Structure 1
Amino acid sequence: MTITRRAFITAAAGMAAASAFPFGEAFAAAPEKKNIKIAVGGQQLVYYLPLTIADRLGYFRDEGLNVSVIDFQGGSKSLQAVVGGSADICSGAFEHTVIMQTRGQRMQAFVLQGRAPQCVFAANLHTMKNFRSAKELKGKRIGVTAPGSSSQIMANYCLKAAGIKPNEVSIIGIGSSSGAIAAIRSGQVDAFVQLDPVISMLMEKKEIAIIVDTRKVAESDRLYGGPMVAGCLYAPESFIRKNPNTIQAITNAMVRADKWIAKATPEQVVKVVPSSYFMGDKKLYIQSFLSNRPALSRDGLIPAKAPEVAKHALSTVNPQIERARLDLEATYTNRFAAEANKRYR
């Protein structure tokens, strides 16, 4: 078999181009849908840092995507955006995939952001100066980021452990940033579930007493009896089936962000995130990042026991979930994250 000089040069050029893309990215299938809307509830939270990093460092763009991140007050509202069709994908708590299946709407998580909830349940020392035990919260006002969000689920779960029923407290939505701090300091709530940087700011001034801290993976595992995973990206099953190349591209960007965060210095992180995330105190934001990094995913993979743990946690506040016949394996897939880990090591 002979080969012309022109054919040889063409083939050599093709091989050189392919070598510029690690792990065969040059041959990755094009996304079916390039313009994507991702809904998130409180993007400034460290909980959602992988999404911010992927967006700010251009990782979505590198995958051929034009991603718009739409920020809402809480996880329940970002979920509503996906259900209502104003967003394609939700960056939210994993347990929503279980909840939605009980409602006949199948959502599937495809890449993980958090290995533990990173939520802190704390008493407000402005209204409960002599606080000693969670049992004292019966009849009190409990703040959450938004009613129906994962923060309320954690509050109900912790209160149940203290022998308090959900109807024996008042649940109040206070957001997740400066508005939450204002509500706490003005005494609008007696206890609350919040995330960083809010928690670190309140801790510095000794304004709160921590009851449960799931920024610590071991403490979270003890509380929930296993891996209660947190932030993830999930979408309707039908969307994932129709757009597998798009989902792969998004997952590639998110896994790349997970790995960047695992190795980044605090100084590198604060150069990337918007200054508004600091809430006026860069030093405290750095402390928040360091406190939460152990609970962030390093590879985007979802543990096999996560759906079972999530169902059990949810059933402690909603008995109907315990009785429901669910296809827990359908709540997540590691297909895309596993492939992304081959590309980004």
Structure 2
Amino acid sequence: MKRRLVLASGLAAALPLPAPAQSLEKPKLTIAVGGKNLLYYLPLTVAEQLGYFKAEGLDVTIVDFAGGAKALQAVVGGSADVVSGAFEHTLNMQLKGQPMRAFVLQGLAPQIVLGINPKTLPNYKTPADLKGKKIGVSAPGSSTNIVANFVLAKAGLKPTDFSVIGVGAGNGAVAAMRAGQIDAISNLDPVITLLQRSGDLQIIADTRKPAEAEKVFGGPMPAGCLYAPVAFLDKYPATAQALANAIVRADKWIQQAGAGDIIKAVPESYLLGDRAVYVDAFLAARGALSPDGLIPEKGAETAYRALASIDPKMAAAKLDLKAVYTNEFAKKANAKYPKG
């Protein structure tokens, strides 16, 4: 028996091991993200924690920032290669003449919730009451800021009618709300569920459910994704494919996972000191996470309309909406991992 084992191990050693890293143009890279603990980016964390990036031959460093706008700045500045961020940034970057392209989806809907502080606004009636008030967002210019602007624009408020304050996407955001430093908040889970359960939040717009998000935005609004400069995707297609493979595997694993599986997969710090809250937040957000990494065909159009409604420059621009995303990598990833 021992002889057989020795022979078997010898044969295994002689066989070539799968070495995806050899075919990758850039196996070592950095992903910038704004608020890694958020359920918005759960597929990124799952791909990291379950070893899906490593399985594709990648050595990925994930650098966390206070918000998506800061993560984007890291890639523009050259300190990171890829952004795990909100889809609509690809449109903003095309407008600025710095083309970026989304290539695998993490979120079907923004999962962003806008709510008011019952302590500072006890007589709140409509979103118009936020005129002159302080609204906390993860970081100015991030998707939380964009959603707040969009919802309040429907109530007749311009971005200059209220103050935007960056509060991050973790305990700092919770503390700012509870201390009454902000009158409203545009943020994500688990922050939102934590504030809601403690009575420190009254929700006025909720995009955690794809159907509700479609009502708010008038169509499918793709959210968290991996996007990169078009030049990066052109230069490193095999690397981009490996990244897409890992995220698609994570997307599919999440759809089949139980709450207990998720708790085991994420770092303890993500739970914000309350596992039950995180479980509730996960169950509320799971429907808004992508099941397959594919970006909806009308998603770019919806995102453009949302941005154009609050930005005159965007409204006047003629963008190539097909250039801001590709499903080429996600389709191949689904073919490789049909079941995750």
| Matches of 1:307 and 1:49, distance apart in 2 | 22
Tell me whether 1:339 sits opposite 2:328 in the alignment.
Answer: no
Residue type of the alignment partner of 2:61:
S
Tell me whether 1:100 sits opposite 2:93 in the alignment.
Answer: yes
Residues 63 and 238 of structure 1: CA distance in aligned 2, closer, same or farther (over 3 Å): same
Residue type of the alignment partner of 2:251:
D
Instruction: State the partner residue of 2:6.
Output: none
Tell me whether 1:69 sits opposite 2:43 in the alignment.
Answer: no
Task: Choose from 21, 41, 48 the match for 1:55.
Answer: 48
Is the Cα contact below 8 Å between 1:29 and 1:245 reproduced in 2?
A: no
- Number of residues paired by the alignment? 326
Instruction: State the partner residue of 2:109.
Output: 116
Residue type of the alignment partner of 2:229:
P
| Matches of 2:119 and 2:269, distance apart in 1 | 26
Larger displacement relative to structure 2 (222-231 or 28-37)? 28-37
After the TM superposition, list the runs of 4 or more consecutive aligned residues in structure 1 that deviate by more than 6 angstroms: 25-29
| Matches of 1:29 and 1:235, distance apart in 2 | 22
Q: Deviations over 1:103-145 (max 9, x none)?
A: 0000000000000000000001121122221111111111111
Instruction: State the partner residue of 1:83.
Output: 76
TM-score under structure 2 length normalisation = 0.93
TM-score under structure 1 length normalisation = 0.92
Residues 260 and 319 of structure 1: CA distance in aligned 2, closer, same or farther (over 3 Å): same
Instruction: State the partner residue of 1:270.
Output: 263
Where 1:293 maps in the other structure, the secondary structure is: helix
Give 1:161 deviation, angstroms.
0.6
Tell me whether 1:127 sits opposite 2:113 in the alignment.
Answer: no
Tell me whether 1:141 sits opposite 2:134 in the alignment.
Answer: yes
| Matches of 1:208 and 1:134, distance apart in 2 | 14
Identity of aligned residues (%): 54
Where 2:185 maps in the other structure, the secondary structure is: strand
Where 1:176 maps in the other structure, the secondary structure is: coil
Task: Choose from 180, 190, 196 the match for 1:187.
Answer: 180
Instruction: State the partner residue of 1:3.
Output: none
Where 1:251 maps in the other structure, the secondary structure is: helix
Give 1:218 deviation, angstroms.
0.6
Give 1:29 deviation, angstroms.
7.2
Q: Deviations over 1:75-108 (max 9, x none)?
A: 0000000000000000000000000000000000
Residue type of the alignment partner of 2:40:
Y
Q: Deviations over 1:224-264 (max 9, x none)?
A: 01011100000000000000000000100000000000000
Where 1:270 maps in the other structure, the secondary structure is: helix
Residue type of the alignment partner of 2:180:
G
Tell me whether 1:305 sits opposite 2:309 in the alignment.
Answer: no
